[in-house]
Amino acid sequence: MEEHQNVNEASSEQCDKKAKLLTSSHESHTERNNNSHKHNRKRNNKSRRQSDDSDVQLSKSLSWLLRHTAPSLGLHPTSDGYIPVNCILSLNHPRFRNGTVVKYTVEDVRRVVENSDKQRFRLEYKDISAFSSNLQIDQHANIHTEHQDSKVLCIRANQGHSYKDIIECDKLLTALSNEELSDPNLTIVHGTTRKAWEDHIRIEGLSRMKRNHIHFATGLPQGVTSDDSQNNSAPISGMRSTSQIYIYVNGEKCAEDGIKFFRSDNGVILTAGENEGGLLPVKYFKKVMLASSGKILLDVED
């Protein structure tokens, strides 16, 4: 009887050991799977971050080139601001190339344009004959050139240019009629810093500085409201969300005095100022407001 009991106990111990081994093996397998999933998630997250960083850098480089430096790099925009995408990507410049390796593809450019939160750029196929001086693409760059019959894929910045005597604003932008400019439902507001306001804007007015135009939004940034912007949705572009001062412009008075205003494809309002001289004097301001508190710093209508 005791012998039979000992056999049963030995058998039970063996079963317990097998069960523990199976449990341990299962736990180890589960842990390996979890670690593998974590590793894959980290790798995927890192890959997404790198892709996002690359897109941000490409967007900044495109803005820098299309708005400010294209002519100095030997590129010749059309009068409405377009440059062939492939000519940009094949540039021998560290913003677009690592040694002999081209950093970006046409697909990268398409993605950046599509995902631009402020819709900074526009792609369009243009007649290739307009770019005979541009189409000297580096044959070693291995860039896929996109053509549609006699057209080539081009890109432009929608606004913000600083180089002169090339861009024709009537072709790049849409002119506002006096009726549109005088519309009381149209908000024209410029965002700036308190220092800029106190140092010179309150005395001299707004300046286009190195750019071709002064930029305005048609409303305040997301989540900010005022009596003058309640009829307008948050603008896509035209004002930094960090602006400390809001300067509202009297569109009707500007229309009366013949000051030209324009609208870009992404909804920014622009003007070269009085007599297109680069300044919009304080007399054309309607109201100036402190962003943080809504305190009125200037109210011309009072």
pLDDT tens-digit readout, 218-270? 999 866 655 555 445 555 567 888 999 999 999 999 999 999 999 999 999 99
| pTM for the model | 0.74
Percent of the chain with pLDDT over 90: 61
Closest CA to 119 of 216, 213, 235, 221: 235
- CATH node for 173-299: 3.20.170.30
Helix (H) / strand (E) element for 52: namely helix 2-64
Closest CA to 182 of 270, 279, 257, 278: 257
Please state the domain extents for the chain.
68-157, 173-299
Give the model's pLDDT for residue 159: 94
Mean pLDDT of the chain: 83
